[in-house]
Structure 1
């Protein structure tokens, strides 16, 4: 897939964004033509407390956040970095709600859709042992990007997975125009209907040619 896509990942201190649950780190990997071409990463201090369990998982401590730039400052910079570039994430429903929440606190709103590499991998890689990001990375022998549960490492892992998914579509179904819009559509198609949908799409493409 040649189109430029911003693959994002948040580390947070909880599951649902709110006054006491905020993002603690953001990573963005810009992928284009099958490779990561630019990156953005920062811790972000939203004035929230990180529980010990999450600190052990991510390695992000309360002391680290106290020294970090404010969440508003980081999100404003991240929003400028991404611009109108189409978005993707692994388990995008999680990252989308934090992206939207943090932008809303700045009076901003998301304009583009999210492609979800979790949903897409379930449809295109059903033979994988499971569809966790780390499992898929090891199973497909994708590059080791660093410590899991750190935002930029996870964003780069998801970016590499996105490239693999695009290559899988191109190789199995010989679709010449794989773009973000197609991925967003495909993730809404039930697993049982993915193959007929893609074969039908290939037929239509062949007819136009």
Structure 2
């Protein structure tokens, strides 16, 4: 074996699966080419997924139920497979797919599988940036490789990756390849207090992540389109001596199918940190505090016979903001609500007395009129009806939208590769749960409506999502009580 080609132990891996969803689909075939200084060795196995395989998968791979019925289950092949993978660099085309399925299958058995991975799609892009397509069929044609066996069978595709590896080493200087591999696989130098295995677990997926210091103090909270890439960017040599990395003790994350899930996870991590973190009222990096919702309030407007609309401050703990149709604005405290109302009054020349910002029983004009910022409804120079109309216009853009459905709603979010689907169950602007299968959804629905309080951040995120109309929605019947 040429030591240039096998400088370390690695294994080329390809899987065939019953579908592309990590949560619901299973491995049906595994193909490996193990390479080290002693040579290359092949291994493959059909795997019984313990569920029927679709006609689409059979048409793609040639693998049908009759072939899998007598095959071993993943639990039966797991010991020998783990032995072949352990301690090696795992190389796969779109490694996120194969590694994700392997981790999922091992996790079902209670085994935490970790391995460094190299994606040949990423490596091809780095070695040949002049080309735009890097799928395996394109690379086979581009480099003139011969397919030994059937495409979309695991061992045949693993062999292609080994052939591709050797082909690249004949076309590109070895140091160029090593540099590109190190850039893709290489671990940054972590602070001594951080477990290096955290790097292996970081997913290449959307989501949110948090850095914690001593006593679980939140240091940083961010949303990401690729958690792994964004977290690793914090550990470059230029940032090694920053206070953030000196204080860092733990990294946590929540992965998601896309932007909506990432935003919801960001809120969830902020709320968790607020409950466990600073003292009452102290602000968190995530923008929350322990008292974030205990004083949540809004202005409620109800028409009077006179045409007036005197605003009344109402608390979320006393009224469900999701169903009221006459609320304007969301404020973390009465003090902030009053400050915002005063600014609005000044901007629109509204009366302090009629807005409750000045003593209505006191004779004479309000303080705003004396400052020439009220049109004089308080002394009869403007009608109540006209002033009330101007109040409605001023507050219109702050109006809360009542929950527009009769029951809960499912928001379906898929990642760009079609490998993950997040099923967000939402009711009255509240996130009830995020699940990954119809069975889990029905199980959660059977538990009835959530008792979670109204959350202004979740209200805004879900409201923007529904307005954008970019993900699937599925209205559900009301909860049966």
Give the TM-score band, short-chain normalised: 0.7 to 0.9
Aligned to 1:184: 185
- Write out the 4+ residue segments of structure 1 that deviate beyond 6 Å after TM superposition: none
What is the aligned partner in structure 2 of residue 121 from structure 1? 124
- The match for 1:137 is 140
Distance in structure 1 (CA, Å) of the matches to 2:134 and 2:105: 27
Which sits farther off after the overlay, 57-66 or 142-151?
Answer: 142-151
TM-score by length of 1: 0.77
- Quote the residue 1:6 is aligned against: 11
2: CA distance, partners of 1:159 / 1:12: 21
CA deviation profile, 1:63-110 (whole Å, cap 9, x unmatched):
111111112112322111222111110011111110101111222222
Pairs within 5 Å for 1:186-205? none
Aligned residue for 2:173, secondary structure, equals: helix
Is 1:22 aligned to 2:26, yes or no? Answer: yes
Note closer, same or farther for the CA distance 1:118–1:86 as it changes in structure 2 (3 Å cut). same
Give the Cα–Cα distance (whole angstroms) in 2 for the partners of residues 176 and 12 of structure 1: 30
Write the distance in 1 (CA, Å) between the matches of 2:75 and 2:182.
30
Which structure features the higher share of helix residues? 1
Determine the C-alpha separation between the residues in 2 that align with 1:146 and 1:129.
27
Aligned equivalents of 1:144 and 1:176: distance in 2? 24
1:30-69 paired onto structure 2 within 5 Å: 30-32=34-36, 37-69=40-72
Shift of 1:145: 2.4
Q: CA RMSD in A?
A: 2.7
Query: Where do residues 77-96 of structure 1 align in structure 2 (5 Å cutoff)?
Result: 77-96=80-99
Which piece of structure 1 moves more, 43-52 or 124-133? 124-133
User: 2:127 touches 2:177 (CA, 8 Å); kept in 1?
Assistant: no
1:117 Cα deviation after fit = 0.1
**Cα pair 2:31 2:154 within 8 Å, conserved:** yes
Displacement after TM superposition at 1:180 (Å): 5.5
User: Is the CA contact (8 Å cut-off) linking 1:124 and 1:168 kept in structure 2?
Assistant: no
Distance 1:66 1:98 in 2: 21
1:195 aligns with none
User: Residue deviations 1:117-156, cap 9 Å, x none?
Assistant: 0111112123447211122122102232221100011111
Conservation of the 8 A alpha-carbon contact between 1:87 and 1:112? yes
CA apart distance, 1:17: 2.2
Asked whether the equivalents of residues 87 and 114 of structure 1 are also in contact (C-alpha less than 8 Å), the reply is yes
Partner residue in 2 for 1:98:
101
Cα distance, 1:40–1:178 mapped onto 2, change above 3 Å = farther
Is contact 2:12–2:33 with CA below 8 Å preserved after alignment? yes
Q: 1:133 to 1:86 in 2, by over 3 A?
A: same
User: Higher RCO, 1 or 2 (CA under 8 Å, sep at least 6)?
Assistant: 1
Q: Distance in 2 between matches of 1:131 and 1:40?
A: 26
In the alignment, structure 2 segments of 5+ residues that lack a partner are 188-227, 230-481
Quote the offset at 1:59 in angstroms: 0.3
Alignment CA distance shift 1:180-1:63 (3 Å): same
TM-score, length of structure 2 as denominator length: 0.35
Report if aligned partners of 1:129, 1:135 keep a CA contact under 8 Å in 2: no
Q: Highest Rg: 1 or 2?
A: 2
| Distance in 1 (alpha carbons) for counterparts of 2:111 and 2:90 | 16
- For residues 37-80 of structure 1, the C-alpha deviation after alignment (integer angstroms, 9 at most, x for no partner) is 11110000120221101100000001111111112112322111
Q: Give the distance between the partners of 1:82 and 1:12, measured in 2 at CA.
A: 18
